[in-house]
Structure 1
Amino acid sequence: MDRRTFLQHSVVLSGAFCLDFPAFARKIKSFGKPRLKIGIVSDIHIRDIKSASTFEHTLEYFRSQNVDGVIIAGDIADYGFESQFANAAEKWYKVFPNDLAPDGHIVEKLFVYGNHDLEGHNYGFVKKAHPDGAYREKEKISGRQAEIWEKYLHEKWEPIQLKQVNGYYFICGHYQNRKNMPGLDKFLERHHDKLVNKKKPFFYIQHTHPKDTCSSPYVWGQDGGEVTKLLSAYPNAVSFSGHSHTPLTDDRTIWQGAFTSVGTASLSYVFPIGARENSEVFRVKEKVPAQMPVMDYYKGKHGMLMTVYEDYITLERREFIHDELLGDNWIIPLPHSTADAPLSFENRAQKASVPQFGANAKVTVTRGTGKSRNKEEKKQIIAHFPSVLKKTTGVRAFDYEVQAEIRDEDVSKVMMTKRIFSPGSIMGENHDEEEVTCIFAEDEIPYKAPIRFVVRPCECFGKKGNPIYSEWIENN
């Protein structure tokens, strides 16, 4: 890294790995001329023309930004049906006729198949919707990957493809199974000399997350680890992957280690991490003892706009219902330094700013009767408190810790701790302003002693802000 690059990196990354829009607008002037713009989505799960409307709207935004290509990191056709894939292709060519932008430059299709595209026809919910096995067999993409691809996208299909856009290489690895990318080792060997570059990145796209990278260790949807080992030989590799639907409001969706890995969320619905009172525990058959229903994931439709400069990559995180930014722009310095890895979880956890409630924030408590997530009628105690947003307090909370304490003589004892997402946590801040509630059943706190609730705002790497408290109330 030369002195000029070092100084630029120091200025941009002092105190943060991302910048809010006004700061970003000021800093971007020093980045130089953009060399590449790419729209990024994943898991669009098209069923019919109506369900493709968000996809069309997103493509229109990318067109307005004059992109050079668009990534779709898998799961194009929800049922794995040819007709659904055709609907997606129709929307693409409606926005980019003949793969052309309005000014006539080619917009490259950087698409890959996902598990739904090849396996969806066999999923239980698809069999329920279409019990006619002959129809599913006729519609399925599986076994006809090349035929369907070439019919609707008008280009040759191969399991792993190398494309070049404005001098930057993209590897498109189509889904073959959930554990690995067969043939990737030989593919990388064959193209090694093109990909190795001390300063210029290349981009790798597959559906499942490379193991132990973005959103790890808790995220589902990781592969078996072979891809992580292979890409670790290339510090200039930037991987994009979907499958888990992890929202872009979670800063762990971007990871750096031996290379850089970015989760691409979903344009259909997002799936926040579990263990919260209003989140879902994925693939757990046992009843979850929660007092609150699962939050509405389907209002989260996320995507990104990547801009590549000589010394930086920027990623704009966006939701496409209200067309709002989801957070600050992520900034990836180039070239990637494995010794430093500024976007590693460890570095960002150390530097993360702590969210805090405003000076007048308080917790109020109400009582009522309601049904738990398992439809059991319960007497409930509800803690109410305001959301913590960057625009009002400087740092947006990722989620909240809510504790129920009882008073035992001169000691306050924590009886139960819950974590909760705000109702608009997967949206832009303008749609995350409503009051947050966390519900406890009275029988979760059976002790007949005065009770109060303690709430702390949290950021995703584990730091917690100062608590606010409710008044003590009787728990009879």
Structure 2
Amino acid sequence: MLRKTFLSAVLSLSLLAVAVIPSAVGAIPGEEKPLLTFPVLSDIHIQSWDPRSHQKFKAALADLRTIDPEADALVINGDLTNGMPADYAKLSELMKENPHPRKVFYTMGNHEFYKAWMDKDGSWNADAFPNGETEQASIGRFLRFSGGKKVYGDEVVNGFRFIFLGSEQYRQSDPSNLEDAWLSVEQLEFLKASLRKGAASGKPVFVFLHQPLPGTVSGTSFCCVNNRAIVQHEELTKILSAYPQAILFSGHTHWELKLPGTLVRNKFTMVNSSSVFQPWTDNGNGGEILTGPEESEGLYVEVYKDKVSIKGRDFYRQRWISEAEFTIP
């Protein structure tokens, strides 16, 4: 992951943890059928040469299909690959070979820009960054895979609005961007308009961005260089704060779901989705440490007429994570 190259511990903004109603493991409240179900995965880190990344992703898809073979959508929230053409080819192959929901949505993570760190032989060469790679080439590769026209957009699934955001710049434009998401004025205006439409329905609105807001969900005290992770984090926070029905899903930190900061709330809800490929955890000394090599996690979301249920899933043991079960009224 080479995350130590880019991440450092900074924390200055604290948020209150949301008060939630515990969900019964694997239960459907009152046998009521949900109006919408979808898993949220992130940080699958498919690399063509790494069979462990392939196997963990396949295991996650298989487990999710056992839980809910009729899920309405699947969201993979960034760090799909390491940005190499062969990685996307392998991910396409895995998607074709393994059953999954018909609707699949992707967001762009920082690792989608990582071809810029590789030389022509496919070897890591930081000294030669960007190794002839442009940001637009990286973005174009992602869009060809995802089928999108821009790194941001929205969709309506079963009457519920899904909003997808993504970084439009990397370090070629500005070295100080680091691994942070860079959101244009146009993207932020799009977000405002889409939130207005979603809010008009009176339903929750689901927002997806790979990088989290600083000082929010678990791991942001370590991931967020210069206390941001998103360059325009102040503007993004202001926009989302006007919509208490907004639920922002993020990845990037990889921090495991049993930690207290998986779900937090200020004026809207924020949820960390850990990592399919390799969760990390708090080392108890102000830093982070890898969990076991077999660990793999993600989220499963059920939407009812009066609540949203979010459950953490342990794909390795094929069981729910009791510390990561929330019901948002």
- For the aligned pair, the TM-score class normalised by the smaller chain equals 0.7 to 0.9
- 2:224 pairs with 1:223: no
Whole-angstrom distance in 2 between the partners of 1:122 and 1:188: 29
Aligned to 1:115: 110
1:304-355 Cα shifts (integer Å, max 9, x gaps): 1111111111122112222122225623333xxxxxxxxxxxxxxxxxxxxx
Kept after mapping to 1: 8 A contact 2:219/2:255: no
Structure 2: which amino acid aligns with 1:68? D
Whole-angstrom distance in 2 between the partners of 1:35 and 1:265: 25
Distance 1:159 1:249, change over 3 A: same
- 2:243 pairs with 1:234: yes
Structure 1: which amino acid aligns with 2:151? P
Shift of 1:113: 1.1
Aligned to 2:287: 281
Map 1:393-432 to 2 at 5 A: none
Structure 1: which amino acid aligns with 2:197? K
Query: Going by fraction, where is strand more abundant, 1 or 2?
Result: 1
SS at 1:67's partner residue? coil
Kept after mapping to 1: 8 A contact 2:143/2:151: no
- 2:79 pairs with 1:75: yes
Whole-angstrom distance in 1 between the partners of 2:199 and 2:23: 29
Question: Which is higher, the Rg of structure 1 or of structure 2?
Answer: 1
Aligned to 2:206: 203
Kept after mapping to 2: 8 A contact 1:239/1:261: yes
User: 177, 184, 189: which one pairs with 2:187?
Assistant: 184
- 2:95 pairs with 1:95: no
Aligned to 1:309: 304
The percent of aligned pairs where both chains have the same amino acid is 22
Map 1:37-186 to 2 at 5 A: 37-48=37-48, 50=51, 51-64=53-66, 65=68, 66-78=70-82, 80-96=83-99, 101=101, 107-118=102-113, 120-123=114-117, 129-130=123-124, 142-145=135-138, 147-149=140-142, 151-153=144-146, 155-177=147-169, 178-182=180-184, 183-186=186-189
Alignment coverage as a number of residue pairs: 289
1:133-169 Cα shifts (integer Å, max 9, x gaps): 99x968x68423564345434x233121111111111
**Which one scores higher on RCO, CA 8 angstroms, separation ≥ 6?**
2
Distance 1:127 1:313, change over 3 A: farther
Whole-angstrom distance in 2 between the partners of 1:206 and 1:36: 20
1:186-219 Cα shifts (integer Å, max 9, x gaps): 1033334412247411111111102332227624
1:61-112 Cα shifts (integer Å, max 9, x gaps): 233312111111111113x21211221122112224xxx75xxxxx222211
1:337-379 Cα shifts (integer Å, max 9, x gaps): xxxxxxxxxxxxxxxxxxxxxxxxxxxxxxxxxxxxxxxxxxx
TM-score by length of 1: 0.54
Kept after mapping to 1: 8 A contact 2:112/2:138: no
Unaligned stretches of 5+ in structure 1?
1-14, 102-106, 283-293, 335-476
Structure 2: which amino acid aligns with 1:237? A
SS at 1:204's partner residue? strand
SS at 1:249's partner residue? coil
Distance 1:131 1:181, change over 3 A: closer
Whole-angstrom distance in 2 between the partners of 1:162 and 1:263: 20
SS at 1:121's partner residue? helix
